[in-house]
């Protein structure tokens, strides 16, 4: 949504993945309708994402980094909740059931029982701790859903071949 001023236009709202038309004001609040006919109320928010594991909010216990427009999560913060065991003193080595998972930021890959899985996004080393994007979590049996309209990140267990 844009605000038209006398000599310029300024962007007021941007919600990735949401496209609307017919913006209007009603009782002091801004609303718009998306192409499917759903109405949304626009409210001021923050740039902070709320993190959920299934239906439980875990925002306060997970460090999130926005790097070049992509969200990265500090993996040691999530490890126990996701069923991972961290090798003692080695935040780059994890055990998942009977499998060993090693993060390799130098080669931008994950080694799952010595099977190399290349990553599209970088594995970041921040202060000696791994920060990973959403693409890493399916290796651990989880998928990440982003709700851009509410700024929610939801981790859901994903059953797959590795279990």
Look at residue 39 in the predicted model and tell me its pLDDT.
83
Q: Provide the percentage of residues in the chain whose pLDDT is more than 90.
A: 43
Give the pLDDT confidence of 89-139 residue by residue, as tens digits: 666 899 988 999 999 998 999 999 989 999 999 999 999 899 999 999 998
Look at residue 163 in the predicted model and tell me its pLDDT.
47
Helix H or strand E encompassing 59: none
Which stretches of 7-151 are assigned E, i.e. beta strand? Answer: 9-11, 21-26, 29-33, 39-42, 50-53, 56-57, 64-67, 70-74, 85-86, 93-96, 99-104, 109-112, 115-118, 124-126, 129-132, 142-147
Q: Using an 8 Å Cβ cutoff, are 55 and 46 in contact?
A: no
* 46 or 86: which leads in pLDDT: 86
What value does the mean pLDDT take over residues 139-149?
Answer: 89
Burial class (CB within 10 angstroms; exposed 0-12, middle 13-18, buried 19+) of 6: exposed
How far is 44 from 29, CA to CA, in rounded Å? Answer: 10
Look at residue 133 in the predicted model and tell me its pLDDT.
95
How far is 137 from 155, CA to CA, in rounded Å? Answer: 9
| Residue 5 reports pLDDT greater than 70 | no
């Amino acid at each position: 949504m844009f605000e038209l001023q006398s000599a310029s236009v300024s962007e007021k709202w941007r919600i990735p993945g949401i496209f609307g038309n017919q913006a209007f004001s009603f009782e002091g609040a801004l609303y718009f309708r998306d192409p499917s006919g759903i109405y949304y109320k626009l409210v001021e928010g923050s740039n902070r994402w709320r993190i959920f594991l299934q239906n439980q909010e875990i925002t306060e216990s997970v460090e999130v980094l926005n790097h070049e427009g992509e969200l990265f999560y500090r993996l040691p913060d999530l490890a126990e909740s996701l069923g991972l065991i961290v090798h003692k003193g080695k935040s780059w080595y994890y055990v998942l059931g009977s499998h060993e998972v090693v993060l390799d930021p130098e080669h931008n890959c994950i080694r799952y029982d010595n099977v190399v899985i290349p990553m599209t996004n970088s594995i970041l080393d921040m202060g000696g701790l791994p920060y990973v994007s959403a693409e890493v979590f399916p290796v651990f049996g989880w998928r990440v859903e982003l709700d851009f309209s509410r700024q929610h990140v939801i981790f859901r267990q994903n059953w797959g071949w590795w279990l």
